[in-house]
A and B are shown apart, each in its own frame.
Chain A
Amino acid sequence: MTLLAVRGLVKYFGGVAAVAGVDFDVAAGEVVALIGPNGAGKTTCFNMVGGQLVPDAGTIHFDGHEIAGRQARAIWRLGIGRTFQIATTFASMTVLENLQIALLSHRRRLADPVSSIKSLEIAAARDLLAQVGMTDRAERQAAELAYGELKRLELAVALAGEPRLLLLDEPTAGLGKSERGVLMSLIDRVVQTRRVAVLFIEHDMDVVFGHAGRVIVLDRGRVLIEGAPDVVRNDERVKDIYLGRGAVVAC
């Protein structure tokens, strides 16, 4: 079943078409990697699906709703969670509070100016924390976390909204080899237990071909090729855009 359907998506920055007519689908529960060289338009696509940018043309259907141009917060309520290229959390709050606030927002309880937040959504927050393996970090301030922990917290925050689609913008960027493994197996587990679809941007080809069920390659604002990892890996055009003509793909 198609969960996300993107058609004819276009975005200009000044006179430059960062995204110049992109079509793709993501099915429910599917893990799809969005790859391509720098400037291919991957993050711009993400920001249009997530509501951070308004497309200049095209449609984005999510679960029967047209979401192109809608507010990020409305899109989140429909069930699309996301992380950012540079991990973004609420730096002044503790890890637990980061999750509480996301959960409270999901349950529409943020308008409450009276109750103390201390006791609210604690169980659910701890549960999420356990899922990303950070139970021992609950009382730490987010600003004090290591980058790998920050990425996991960001993922947990995105999961608080019980999304059916996760947009992960470079989930393993800035992480060491072992941290990458931890984070990706975490994401695999989330996909299995929650049956959530994942669309992720990634530059590490080991991660892409180890975890994606399907790969979409963007180049200069268009879809160059899409298909199973093996097909994409052996496509000459993909080798060209990544390594230049005549080079050998190392991955």
Chain B
Amino acid sequence: MGFYVVQFLTGLAGAASLFLVACGLSLVFGVTRVVNFAHGSFYMLGAFVAYSLTKWWGAGLGFWAALVASSVIVGALGAAIEVLLLRRLYRSPELYQLVATFGVLLVVQDAALALWGPDNLLGPRAPGLSGSVALFGQRVPQYDLFLIVLGPTVLLLLTLLLTRTRWGRLVRAATEDRDMAAALGVNQRHLFTGVFFLGSLLAALGGALQLPRAPATLFMDLNIIAEAFVVVVVGGMGSIFGAFLAAVLIAELHAFGILIFPQVTIVLVFVVMAVVLVVRPWGLLGRPEDARHRTPTEIATPLGVPRCLVVIGLIAVAAVLMAWPAMAGDYGLKLATEVLVFALFAASLNFILGVGGMISFGHAAYLGLGAYGAALLVSRLGWPMEAGLVVAPLAAGFGALLFGWFCVRLSGVYLAMLSLAFAQIAWSVAFQWYDVTGGDNGIQGVWPSAWATSPLVYYYLALAVVAAALFGLHRVASSPFGYALRAARDSSLLSEAIGIDVKQVRWFGFALAGAAAGMAGGLYAFLKGNVSPTVMAIPVSIDGLVMVLLGGVQTVVGPLLGAATLVGLKTEIASATNVWRGVLGALIIGLALLFPRGIVGHLGRWHRGGRP
């Protein structure tokens, strides 16, 4: 009995940081409507800065002072980022905001690597609370008890701040109805910056508070952001109490799941999230989404490029692709094959994004499912490559059917967050299910059949498969089913009113895109000869989005161009510098700021003489 109580208390202590991060995210989203990917970076920086300050100021009270100072410093950094970057993106489509904040995350990651080095940082014990207390015959760390009290205290203080102060009322007004608040003369600029400061401060505090419990690492940012998304989706966007409830729920799942066996926690989190979303799609304490608050997905504007030019362009691209082997060596061929694979991946993402209007932030899950499906079949069951390439899209398609069933019930940023959470779950399974997936090492020896081992043959094989898949996607996009998807994107209200089952159409569209990504994953596995969990990690999902963004959301040739640009850039930057993440991040930020419609989209605009 005592054991379970103590385990429960451990869970509660773990909930504190998660709550701080999630409610910061929720607050910022409520007011600015921006899902801030870099929120996890503030969490990480909070821990790192507090670590350094503690070292500097020495033990004793240094830790507590560092806790406060670090939160304020990182909060100010958050405010600065809001002023310099996000403020310019409030009117951009959600996708660009998300991708730009991910650019910030990349820059922060490399900055942190440069400043603090790659090693895990072991924090100090909390001065004055380093002992433990006997409870039911078990020992509970004093610091855990402190965290258990801290969580509800912050909840109370925030509630007071939001209900009892003028500033808090303005925040709530802006959350309820931004336009109305603006019409009443609320200074939005100050309000937004202030909220960003508060949100970043809370994230940093959450990170700093973790120091005495766990080492600070460079992976903290992505790990916490995925969990914070789960908390916000489960708790209900914009509800602070909901965030608290969900944080406790998730933390307790971890605390007790670990007793059965560690891996089961992922499944438990998935089940809980699934149940909550089926019963209450808007989260435990959230409110049903108000259609007025939704930023409509940008409407497709046809490029206005004459059809003959499109045909000439396609022929030119085809000619380059066919002639490429004559110009390149083995390395160039492998690189080009990778471009093809990612072009298909980007095109499949472009399909649900452009045609379906659904922002998937976890599309790498389906690339990964395809890769793992093929790899497992070949390496564990000894089937040939051909079978692997057939199974890849099927495996990913089934995965997308399962995850998609939940995703299509949400829209906009909610869908984005949920898809990311699902991808993170798929990643965790691949990472932890050592017996089947090989864990971190992945699966080795995934080679093509004998006839396709030469880079030249494999290049042509990939070219044929990718070309067929791209043609297929294009075909579906212009079919009645594709138009039903477009209709659902343009107006789900009217779609339902003319007999279209919007959820079902979206569901099948999602699954189809997943299957196409899986096809790319299968090709990728045999190209690399191995598969590891990295293939479905968050950065790969973002890479896909960046490719789509580079190529323009609504275009056909775009994904190919985007994939070529990004793969090329990455290879170039990676060979020239070891801070490629930072450079890439800065590039992404720059692109999002300069080309809010993607490069091809902008070319189209110039073509039409600058008309929007």
The answer for the CA separation of A92 and B357 in the assembled complex, in Å, is 12
A76 → chain B closest CB, angstroms: 5
B479-A114 in contact (CB<8A): yes
B501 within 8 A of A: yes
Contacting residue for A118 out of B299, B302, B478, B499, CB 8 A: B478
Residue of B483, B487, B491, B499 near A76 (CB, 8 A) is: B499
B497 and A97 within 8 A (CB)? no
Bound: A160/B489 CA distance, A? 20
**Residue from A51, A102, A161 whose CB has the most chain B CB atoms within 10 Å:** A102
A interface residue count range (under 10 / 10 to 19 / 20 to 34 / 35 or more): 35 or more
Contact partner of B497 (CB less than 8 A), chosen from A52, A110, A112, A116, is A52
Question: Does the CB pair A141–B302 fall under 8 Å?
Answer: yes
On whether A101 and B498 interact (CB within 8 A), knowing A110-B481, A112-B481, A143-B299, the answer reads: yes
Complex-state Cα separation, A159 to B247, whole angstroms: 51
Within 8 Å by CB of B475, from A71, A106, A116, A158, lies A116
Find chain A residues with CB under 8 A from B487 CB: 90, 93, 101
CB atoms of A90 and B491 under 8 A apart: yes
A228 to chain B, nearest CB (A): 31
Q: How far is A109 from B493 in the complex, measured between Cα atoms in Å?
A: 20
Residue pair A117, B494 in contact (C-beta under 8 Å): no
Within 8 A of A (CB), among B465-523: 475-476, 478-484, 486-487, 489-491, 493-494, 496-501, 505, 512
Q: Given the complex of chains A and B, what is the CA–CA distance between A90 and B476 in angstroms?
A: 18
A157 in the interface (beta carbon within 8 A)? yes
Q: Restricting to A40-73, which residues have a CB under 8 Å from any CB of B?
A: 50-52, 71-73
A50 B483 Cβ-Cβ under 8 A: no
Q: How far in angstroms is the closest Cβ of chain A from B183?
A: 20
Which among A52, A73, A92, A93 is the interface contact of B499 at CB below 8 angstroms?
Answer: A73
Residues in A whose Cβ lies below 8 Å from that of B496? 51-52, 71-73
| Inter-chain contact B494/A88, CB cutoff 8 Å | yes
Cα(A77)–Cα(B501), bound, Å: 12
Closest to A106 in B: B499
Complex Cα gap A89–B490 (Å):
8
A115 at the interface (CB under 8 A from B): yes
Contacts of A82 in B (CB 8 A): 497
Q: Which residues of B contact A247 (CB under 8 A)?
A: none
Are the CB atoms of B490 and A111 closer together than 8 Å? Answer: no
Which residues in B have their C-beta under 8 angstroms from that of A172?
none
- Which residues of B lie under 8 Å from residue A161 when comparing CB positions? 498-499
Residues from chain A with a CB closer than 8 A to the CB of B65 are none
Chain B positions 177 through 197: 1 when the CB is less than 8 Å from some CB of chain A, otherwise 0? 000000000000000000000
What chain A residues lie within 8 Å of B479 (beta carbons)? 112-117
Please name all residues of chain B whose beta carbon is closer than 8 Å to the beta carbon of A38 when the two chains form the complex: none
Given A72-B496, A82-B497, A91-B490, 4 more A-B residue pairs with CB atoms under 8 Å apart are A71-B496, A88-B493, A109-B480, A117-B483
CB distance from B368 to the nearest CB of A (A): 25
B483 near A101: Cβ-Cβ < 8 Å = yes
- B59, CB-defined interface residue at 8 Å: no
Whether A160 contacts B498 in the complex (CB less than 8 A), given A88-B491, A90-B491, A143-B299, comes out as yes
Question: Chain B contacts of A184 at CB under 8 A?
Answer: none
Does the CB pair A116–B478 fall under 8 Å? Answer: yes
Question: A90, A102, A120: which has the most chain B beta carbons within 10 Å?
Answer: A90
Chain A residues whose CB sits within 8 angstroms of the CB of B214 once the complex forms = none
A89 to B497, CA, bound (A): 11
B300 touches A105 (CB 8 A): no
The answer for the CA separation of A111 and B475 in the assembled complex, in Å, is 14
Whether B302 and A115, one on each chain, are in contact in the complex, defined by CB atoms closer than 8 angstroms, is no
- CA–CA, A181 and B481, complex, Å: 37
Per the bound structure, the CA–CA distance linking A111 and B487 in Å amounts to: 13
Chain A residue nearest in CB terms to B502? A73
Q: Contact mask A108-143 → B, CB, 8 Å, 1/0?
A: 011111111110100000000000000000000101
Query: Are the C-beta atoms of B498 and A92 separated by less than 8 Å?
Result: no
The minimal Cβ–Cβ distance linking A144 to chain B, given in whole angstroms, is: 10
**Chain B residues whose CB sits within 8 angstroms of the CB of A141 once the complex forms:** 302
Whether A52 lies near B490 (C-beta < 8 A) is: no
Say yes or no: B484 contacts A101, CB within 8 Å. Answer: yes
With A73-B501, A105-B500, A116-B478 as given contacts, are A84 and B484 in contact (CB-CB < 8 Å)? Answer: no
- Closest A residue to B298 using CB positions: A92
The residue that B299 contacts in the complex, of A92, A104, A106, A114, with Cβ under 8 A, is A92
Contact A93 B481 (CB under 8 A): no
- Bound-complex Cα distance A117 to B480 (A): 6
CA of A101 to CA of B480, assembled, Å? 7
Q: Is the CB of B500 within 8 A of A73?
A: yes
Nearest chain-B residue to A105 (Cβ)?
A: B499
Contact B476 A113 (CB under 8 A): yes
Contact with B along A153-174 (1 / 0, CB 8 A): 0000110110000000000000
Q: Which of chain B's residues has its CB closest to A160's CB? A: B498
Q: Which 9 A-B pairs have the closest CB atoms?
A: A90-B490, A113-B481, A92-B300, A72-B496, A110-B484, A105-B499, A112-B480, A73-B499, A88-B494
Distance in Å from the Cβ of A48 to the closest Cβ of chain B? 13
Query: For residue B481, which residues in chain A have a CB less than 8 angstroms away from its CB?
Result: 110-113
Would you call A91 and B498 a contact (CB within 8 A)?
A: no
Q: Is the CB of A111 within 8 A of B480?
A: yes
A17 to chain B, nearest CB (A): 20
Residues of B within 8 A of A116 (CB): 475, 478-479
Give the chain A neighbours of B476 by CB distance below 8 A. 113-114
Q: How far is the CA of A100 from the CA of B486 in the complex (A)?
A: 13
With a cutoff of 8 Å between Cβ atoms, the chain A residues found around residue B501 in the complex are 73
Q: Which residues of B contact A120 (CB under 8 A)?
A: 480
Query: By the criterion CB–CB under 8 Å, are B299 and A91 in contact?
Result: yes
B299: A residues at CB distance < 8 A: 91-92, 143
**Cβ of A73 and Cβ of B483 under 8 Å apart?**
no
Alpha-carbon distance between A160 and B498 when the two chains are bound, in angstroms = 9
Q: How far apart sit A71 and B502, CA to CA, in the bound complex (Å)? A: 11
Can you list 15 A-B contacts with CB-CB less than 8 angstroms, sorted by A residue number? A76-B499, A88-B491, A89-B490, A92-B299, A92-B489, A93-B486, A101-B483, A101-B487, A105-B498, A113-B476, A116-B478, A117-B478, A117-B482, A158-B498, A161-B498
Chain B, range 249-307, C-beta contacts under 8 Å to A: 299-300, 302
Bound-state CA distance A206–B115 (Å) is 75
Contact for A104 among B300, B480, B493, CB less than 8 A: B480
Distance in Å: Cβ of B483 to nearest Cβ of chain A: 5
Known A-B contacts A76-B499, A101-B498; the reply to A92 vs B480 at CB < 8 A is: no
* A101→B496 CA distance, assembly (Å): 12
A101 to B505, CA, bound (A): 13
Report yes or no: A73 in contact with B497, Cβ–Cβ below 8 A. yes
Bound Cα distance from A213 to B494, whole angstroms:
28
Q: How far is the CA of A76 from the CA of B494 in the complex (A)?
A: 11
A50 to B496, CA, bound (A): 10
Q: Which of A52, A101, A114, A116 has the most B CB atoms < 10 Å from its CB?
A: A101
- What is the minimal beta-carbon distance from B367 to any residue of chain A, in angstroms? 22
